Structure 1
Amino acid sequence: MTVWCGDTPLILASQSRTRRLLLANAGIDVEARPAEIDERAMQAAAGITAPSDIAALLAREKALAVSARWPGRHVLGADQTLALGDRLFNKPDGRVGAFEQLRALAGGSHQLHSAVAVAYDRMVVFEHVAVASMTMRPLSEIAVAAYLDAAGDAVAASVGGYQLEGLGVHLFERIDGDHFTILGLPLLPLLGFLRSRRLLVF
């Protein structure tokens, strides 16, 4: 059942199946219109290094890029960065990259910085950043290889080489933070904003 009462669906400026599913499960009518932006180039041009600032920048730019093509529509952009101390991680380049990332993360705590932004007629009307702390259990090379064998190609789909909603949950011993933040979409603050715009039934 939908609880969306906008005249047109919310536009998700992303190809993320997980984010789209989170919105759909929350009863929001959504359609995906991926943003065609060079994330690494934008990050470099902005000259920012703080993980939360990077995630916020990219969420805004995604929303604005798609909003420029769809006037009169609410456009949602989202981004997530993973930081292990001063080291930032991007999506791994295949199995070898995932293996290296997981070995670096094993036995320690890292942070996921998840940002969301909503644009309307080329203006950002809402943005929010949330952080979750993830503690991965110690993992031998054999354990990491076994996980990669079981998880398959999915490991290259998310930063850090794991998907908590799937087999990646086995890698962790402690999680501090909101479930939706971990999945890359701080949903509760977003729903509050959508209610303020009278886009939800309740």
Structure 2
Amino acid sequence: MSALWREPAPLVLASKSAIRMAILKDAGLPVQARPAELDERAVEAQLSGDGANPANVAGALAVAKAIDVSSRLAGRLVVGADQTLSLDGERFTKPVSRDAGRSQLLRLSGRTHALFSGAAIVRDGHVLWSGVAEVRLATRPLGEDFLDAYLEAAGEGALTSVGGYQFEGIGAQLFERVEGDYFAILGLPLLPVLAALRSLGALAS
């Protein structure tokens, strides 16, 4: 257990995301993964039907995931996270196939989109903290030949992130400019999460 960690048990990550797990571990937090048992698409559909914008959807899904896992782990601190992508008000989800990923990237080509990264900290079903970070990403104009080569090189990894890119790897080649937090692009607004954990007494301050 990290000398900085003040809880008797590790932090629980309500996700199977390898990059979110790595972000927390690299920051010195003891963490265990317990993916939420949640129909995310159904929750998204309900939120959209209620008029929620992409930022609110990211925040609500992060909370829902953390609450779902927290309900099965009494006393544990649970962090949930989610991302949404918005282009001119339209919300994108993870591509379900290589062709879908290609189609999304063509739509993002030469344009600037918003990425919303939501996170929540929950214990025993009670939301102790939640927040949403916004990042603006300017995609460079993408040629057909480049997209084919990129998707071939990225493989299944292109299907694991909203928008069809993995910014921490080869996906960085897609962009001209970003405005916002690097960790939020990867899927977890780390610095606000760490600040919240310190304020809750879970991390040494």
Structure 1 residue 49, shift from structure 2 partner: 3.4
Question: Which residue is equivalent to 2:130?
Answer: 127
Pick from 38, 56, 77: which aligns with 1:74?
A: 77
* Shift of residue 45, structure 1, vs aligned partner: 2.2
Matched, 1:50 2:75: no
Deviations 1:85-134 (A, max 9, x none): 12111111121111101101010000100000011111101001110000
Cross-structure match for 1:5: 6
Superposition pairs of residues 1-202 of structure 1, within 5 angstroms: 2=2, 3-46=4-47, 47-202=50-205
Q: TM-score, normalised to structure 1's length? A: 0.97
Structure 2 residues not aligned, in runs of 5+ = none
* CA positional deviation for 1:28: 0.3
Deviation at 1:43, TM superposition (A): 2.2
Separation in 2, partners of 1:72, 1:22: 23
Task: Report the 3-state secondary structure (helix = DSSP H, G, I; strand = E; otherwise coil) of the residue aligned with 1:159.
Answer: coil
Could you report, residue by residue, the CA deviation over 1:54-81 in whole angstroms, capped at 9, with x for unpaired residues?
Answer: 0011001001001110111111100000
Q: Deviation of residue 159 (structure 1)?
A: 1.0
Secondary structure at the aligned position of 2:81 is classed as strand
Q: Give the CA RMSD over aligned residues.
A: 1.1
The TM-score normalised by the length of structure 2 is 0.95
Q: Percent identity?
A: 48
Is the contact made by 1:79 and 1:115 (CA closer than 8 Å) also made in structure 2? Answer: yes
User: Aligned residues, how many?
Assistant: 202
Give, in whole Å, the separation in 2 of the partners of 1:120 and 1:48: 28
